[in-house]
Structure 1
Amino acid sequence: MKKHLASFRDFLATGTLGALSPGMKLIDVAELLGPPDGWNVDEAAPVPLYWFFGKLEISFESVAPYQINWFQIEGAAHLKGKLEPLTDQLKLSLDGFSGKTKPSEFLSAGFWDPNSTTVYYAGLSDDILLNICAGRTQIHFQVDTSFIGDGEVIKYLEQSKPARLVRDIDSRTRVDSIYSYPQPATEEVPGVFNWRSITGRDYLDILR
């Protein structure tokens, strides 16, 4: 089985991870990557629809030909070094990025148009949900909210203008997971949280 080297920069720019594309079918993924390390089984489904290969996780549609719903690099906070082996057949060249790369560093890296890129944020309990949506790619970040009092995240977001928020949190982030979709990415679970958003350009302008 042929081995592949994927570029992290190209993945973020296009949503394609080497030879793995979000438009592929389950049989194509099996031929490309071989058997997964494991899968989640839904007894109502004729085939396993959620596969995982180390940090790489893939969700398939529930009807034939079982096209990819999305795939993600999970545990991305631990990405480091030059290469990340995702499977026996697929390695990821990190191209100078890591799990510590900040939202502002991704936005200024030159592979997205900041004017067409959206940064979403919302509060959930003591957490700030933060993600960047650019084309078919979505990056989720962990935010260290220890600088905010216990139980005060929602209040903090309600009282903070975008300029304060961005300055407060950009340096307090780590990458959590990175998703690729067959269609343009949007905020996770629309309508469930009180999502707010700014453009990538506005985010960068705040930090200048």
Structure 2
Amino acid sequence: MKKQLASFRDLLATGNLGPVTPDMTLKDIATALGPPDGWNVDHDHPVPVYWFFGKLEISFDSAAPYQMNWFQIEGATQLRGKSATLTERLRLSLDGFSGETKPSEFLSAGLWDSRQATVYYAALSDDILLNICTGCIQIHFQVDTAFIDDREAIEYLASRRCPSLLEMSILERRSIASTRTRRLPQKRYLEHSTGAR
């Protein structure tokens, strides 16, 4: 089967990855992408509901018709060049983005209404988590915390009088961990896809 080309810019703007959309079922994915490279088996469910195709991972609901919960590009830090192979049937045009694209570059790329994009950051043990969320899209960033020496990230952020996302010590030390598109509840999905509010 011929390899399809998807656009990273379109994925970030719409939540669609070429032929893969958040409203698909397990059967739809099998038709679009063929059999997965592998899956995780949960002994409580007769059907594997976590599939992976190269860098593309997909989670499905555990009840028929096995509606997609979300899909993600894992290992997005490795995205470089003009395009990247995600699966045997799907290639991703990077459209000028890469695993090193800064959060501010995503936010200023004109992909989303700035009033609908939210940036979160938090500490979890030794890690600082940074996420951009808008509609059904989530971009997860890894933050290199070597600059905080032997302190835990929780202690570091707590010691900041007014922790700011603009603090360069955090923003200069990040790379994309993954991008995730999740299925919105039906009403919210329709509002998102039509632009209604």
Structure-2-length-normalised TM-score: 0.89
Comparing 172-181 and 158-167, the one that deviates more: 158-167
Residues 1:183 and 2:187 are matched in the alignment: no
Q: CA deviation at 1:65?
A: 0.2
CA contact (8 A) 2:165 2:171 kept: no
Distance 1:152 1:88, change over 3 A: closer
| Structure 1 residue 168, shift from structure 2 partner | 2.0
Instruction: State whether residues 126 and 150 of structure 1, in contact with CA within 8 Å, keep that contact through their aligned partners in structure 2.
Output: no
Aligned to 2:34: 34
Partner Cα separation in structure 1 for residue 9 and residue 166 of structure 2 = 27
- What secondary structure, in the 3-state scheme, does the structure 2 residue paired with 1:139 have? strand
SS at the partner of 1:138? strand
> After the TM superposition, which of the residue ranges 111-120 and 161-170 deviates more from structure 2?
161-170
Give the TM-score, by structure 1 length: 0.84
Cα-Cα RMSD: 1.5
- Provide Cα deviations, 1:123-165, integer angstroms capped at 9, x if missing partner: 1111101111011100110101111121342122123224375
Report if the CA contact (8 A) 2:4-2:91 is conserved.
yes
Q: Residue type matched to 2:110 in 1?
A: G
Percent identity between the two aligned chains: 65
Whether the aligned pair in 1 keeps the contact of 2:139 and 2:178 (CA below 8 Å) is: yes
In structure 1, how many angstroms separate the alpha carbons of the residues matched to 2:132 and 2:60? 23
CA distance in structure 2 between the aligned counterparts of 1:126 and 1:24, rounded to whole angstroms:
36
Q: Secondary structure at the match of 1:114?
A: coil
3-state SS of 1:150 partner: coil
Task: Determine whether 1:11 maps to 2:26.
Answer: no
Q: Secondary structure at the match of 2:167?
A: helix
Would you say the 8 A contact 1:157–1:165 is kept in 2? Answer: no
- Which residue of 1 is the match for residue 92 of structure 2? 92
Alignment of 1:182-201 (within 5 A): 182-183=183-184
Aligned positions of 1:60-71 closer than 5 A: 60-71=60-71
Unaligned runs of 5+ in 2: 186-197
8 Å CA contact retained: 1:39, 1:51: yes
Which structure 1 segments of 5+ residues have no match? 185-208
Work out the number of aligned pairs and report it: 184
Corresponding position of 2:53: 53
The within-5 A match list for 1:50-199 is 50-160=50-160, 161-163=162-164, 166-183=167-184
Q: Tell me, yes or no, if the aligned pair for 1:125 and 1:151 is still in contact at 8 Å.
A: no
